[in-house]
Structure 1
Amino acid sequence: MTAVRRTVPALLATLLLLGSAGPAGAAGYRYWSFWERAGGHWTYATQGPSLARPDDGAVQGFRFAVSADSADASRPRGTADFDTICAGTPAKSGTKRVALVLDFGTGADAPSGETPPGRRTACARVPSDATSADALAAVAKPLRYDANALLCAIAGYPAKGCGEQVAAGGATKEKSGPRDSGPSLGLPIGAGAVALLAAAAAWQARRRRRDESG
């Protein structure tokens, strides 16, 4: 079981390295990054929103910005306190509450012709086994995903585009080949690596169920 538990973190470390290896001369990628808050600080999530299953009382954030990699990623701005965000959402049996901070970024990071909405918070009350993606869908529709399940838009922003590579001068760079994407970590990594991560997570879950039943 110990070896199984080590598999997914090792894959995550590999994917993070892949995500940070951007092409020379590029400022980064324009995308939604995913964060978790603990001890009054934001930490870049090590699981994507479709895999993370937050506990009741969790605070999570999404930030739209141009970032080169996870170390360079912009954190959600402003205060983020569960008791404040979820003050009007009482606990209910069989559900959990997740406080979400949605930071649509600045005009400098916005795609050409678009204006980012103001930062907002929301309290999602969802089934106890819901993922972070489920919580986001409960309070911030419409969401938009690409063919590789990369989160492209929250509450309809941005209206178009998805994880574009941005040149050092701020312009979007056109790509002649397939666009890299990173639905699991919010990083520009290959879809094949994302599939590997998903398969490893599923394998870990099946192994855990077999161990518990045995």
Structure 2
Amino acid sequence: MTPRRVVPLLLAAFLLIGTAGQAQAAGYRYWSFWDRDGGTWVYATQGPSMARPSDGDLQGFRFAVSENSGDAAQPRGTADFASICAKTPAEDGTKRVALVLDFGTAPDAPSGETPPAPRTACAQVSPDATTADALAAVAGPLRYNTNALLCAIAGYPKSGCGEQVSQEQETRDTPSASAQKNASDDGGPSLGLIAGISVIAALAAAGAWQARRRRNATR
């Protein structure tokens, strides 16, 4: 094997290692907060503890793994304020806020937990109540972290709060993915790194063998 052929293959091996490392990054597991604007969900610009909805507003929450607000999963379903609050008559000195609570899918759930079925609720609260107040009235217990990030609605999930999730963790159901995750957790090298090193070692051995053959042939 000549040096001209070895160099491109070595570069390919290094690219394999780099790609394997990049593929592990995925996103964060958290509750996203949404406002309903007509027939469209819009990512909320304020947190639930700061937002003060008006009477007749529809807001939603979705638990999922997302990289950022641009790719965050929206609440599912087509419920509107009228249908959600149909059985909650208006009262003086209060406001009604319709809430859509989407606990997400099994692949997005923390290990060992099963997401509850999506549901809706109509919160009847004081006129100055925040979305967090409305949520606490109909979907407790809530859980927050020290930075006031909403971690759990109706007790789900039981633990964790906005933790980073790799693609290996997202596909943990498969034995091979579980093995990769365990190796990563133990501080061992990833499979991509091992494969890349193996390729480099094989190429180096082949080059040395070819060099010995050429030296023996010229003797």
Shared fold, TM over 0.5: yes
Q: What's the CA shift for 1:26?
A: 1.7
Q: What residue identity is the alignment partner of 1:92?
A: E
Q: Secondary structure at the match of 1:100?
A: strand
CA distance in 1, matches of 2:108, 2:123: 27
User: Could you give the per-residue CA deviations for residues 115-168 of structure 1, whole angstroms, max 9, x where no partner exists?
Assistant: 000000000000001000100000000101111111110000001111110012
Considering only aligned residues, what root-mean-square deviation do their CA atoms show, in Å? 1.7
User: Could you give the per-residue CA deviations for residues 22-43 of structure 1, whole angstroms, max 9, x where no partner exists?
Assistant: x954210000000000111100
CA distance in 2, matches of 1:58, 1:47: 15
Aligned to 2:82: 83
CA distance in 2, matches of 1:109, 1:118: 14
8 Å CA contact retained: 1:59, 1:80: no
Q: Secondary structure at the match of 1:122?
A: strand
Matched, 1:67 2:97: no
CA distance in 1, matches of 2:96, 2:130: 11
Indicate the structure with greater helix content: 2
8 Å CA contact retained: 1:30, 1:166: yes
Q: What residue identity is the alignment partner of 1:80?
A: A
Misfit runs of 4+, over 4 Å: 171-174
Aligned to 1:109: 108
For normalisation by structure 2, the TM-score amounts to 0.67
User: Could you give the per-residue CA deviations for residues 163-184 of structure 1, whole angstroms, max 9, x where no partner exists?
Assistant: 110012235998xxxxxxxxxx
Q: What's the CA shift for 1:79?
A: 1.0
Q: Secondary structure at the match of 2:134?
A: helix
Which segments of 5 or more consecutive residues in structure 2 lack a partner in the other structure?
1-20, 171-180, 186-219
CA distance in 2, matches of 1:104, 1:39: 23
Matched, 1:47 2:43: no
User: Could you give the per-residue CA deviations for residues 90-139 of structure 1, whole angstroms, max 9, x where no partner exists?
Assistant: 11111100000000000000000000000000000000010001000000
Matched, 1:160 2:159: yes
Aligned to 2:31: 32
8 Å CA contact retained: 1:27, 1:170: no
Q: Secondary structure at the match of 2:83?
A: helix
Q: What's the CA shift for 1:80?
A: 2.2
User: Equivalent pairs: percent with the same residue?
Assistant: 72
Q: What residue identity is the alignment partner of 1:120?
A: R
Which segments of 5 or more consecutive residues in structure 1 lack a partner in the other structure?
1-22, 175-214
8 Å CA contact retained: 1:76, 1:101: yes
CA distance in 1, matches of 2:54, 2:166: 39
Instruction: Report how many aligned residue pairs link the two structures.
Output: 152
Matched, 1:126 2:103: no
For normalisation by structure 1, the TM-score amounts to 0.68
